[in-house]
Amino acid sequence: MTGLFTFGETMGLVAADGIGPLPYARSFSFGIGGAESNVAVGVARLGGEATWLGRVGPDATGALIAERLGAAGVRTLAITDDSFTGLMVRHRRSAQFAQVDYHRAGSAGSRLSPADVPSAELSASGVVHVTGITPALSETARAAVFQSIETARAAGVPVSVDVNYRSKLWSRFDAAPVLRDLVSRADVVFASPEEAELFVDPQDVPAALAKLGPAEVIVKDGARGCTALIDGERHALPVLPVTVIDPVGAGDAFVAGYLADRLAGAPPADRLATAIAAGAFAVTVPGDCEGAPTRAELAALKGDDVRR
C-alpha cells in the first residue's frame, strides 16, 4: 500500500501561445490537462507510484491522454467511452490573468460512474485522491466520488481531497454543501482560502476545516505560501522566490509534492517543504503537467542555475 490512486476527467488542452486577447492569437499548442491526472504525473515524477482512472472518447485526444500519462510514468486505466473527450481552451489575457473555457458537457469523462472504479484498486492504494471538480460533472460522477471514498475508508486507506471549486461548472450555492460533505469524509484536505470560505468560517480557515474531520488541513494561499494544521500542529511556509512564467498547474504540483512525501513516510514539515518547492517549480514552465519536477530538479531550485 504505497501508491496514489486517483480518478476524474482529463481533457485535451488548446492553449494560445503568447499573451493577449484570444481573437489576436496566431498560434496554439495542444496538450492535456486535468487536476487529478496532473497530481498523478507530479507524484510519478517525484518517484512515487501513481494510478489514474478515467473515461476518454474514441478519438485522437483520448489516445493522446493515455499515451502522455503512460509516458510520464502513470499507470493509466483509460476506459473508452462512445462520447467525445472533453476539451478546454486557455489564453492569457495578461501576464497575471488566464481564462479557461470548457467544452465538456456530455463528455466521456462526465459519464464516469461508480461501477467504473474497482474496489480492489481503492483498497490496495496508499492514498485515494479526489477533487471537488468530479462531483460537479454529473450525478453519476458525483456518486463515483462518494462511493469510492466510503470504500477506501472501509479499507483503512487515507482519503485526500482537493476542494478545487470551479465556478464555470456549478454555482457557489450548489457546490457548498457537496464540498463540505466531501471534506468531512477526508483525512487530508487541500483548499485555497477562497474555496474554504464557501462553507466554513473565514476567521481561521485551517481550524474550521479541521473541525469537519480531516486530520491534515493544508491551505494553499498562492504567493503567500501555505498554512497547515496537521495532527493538531500548525505550520506556515512562504513561497520560494522564482520567476513566474505560467501559474496554471501550481496547485496540483503542490498537492503532488505533499502526497509524494506522505507516501514516502516523510514528516509533515518535509511534506510541506516539498509541496512549496514543487509548486514553485511548476510556475517556471508553461503547461499543466508537462514540467512536473523530479527530485533532482527540485534540489536545483536552491543550487546553481546551470547544470553541467
Catalytically annotated residues: 252
Residue owning grid cell 470551479? 166
Look up residue 36 and give its three cell numbers: 487529478
Rounded CA separation 240/222 (Å): 11
Rg (CA), the chain: 18
| Residue 104 three-state SS | coil
Rounded CA separation 127/1 (Å): 8
CB contact at 8 A, 51 and 66: no
Q: Is the dihedral of CA 269, 3, 212, 9 positive or negative?
A: positive
Chain centroid to Cα 159, Å, comes to 14
- Residue 25's identity, in one-letter code, is A
Rounded CA separation 235/215 (Å): 13
- Residue 188's identity, in one-letter code, is V
Read off the DSSP letter of residue 274: H
Q: What stretch of H or E contains 190?
A: strand 188-191
CB contact at 8 A, 142 and 112: no
Rounded CA separation 211/203 (Å): 13
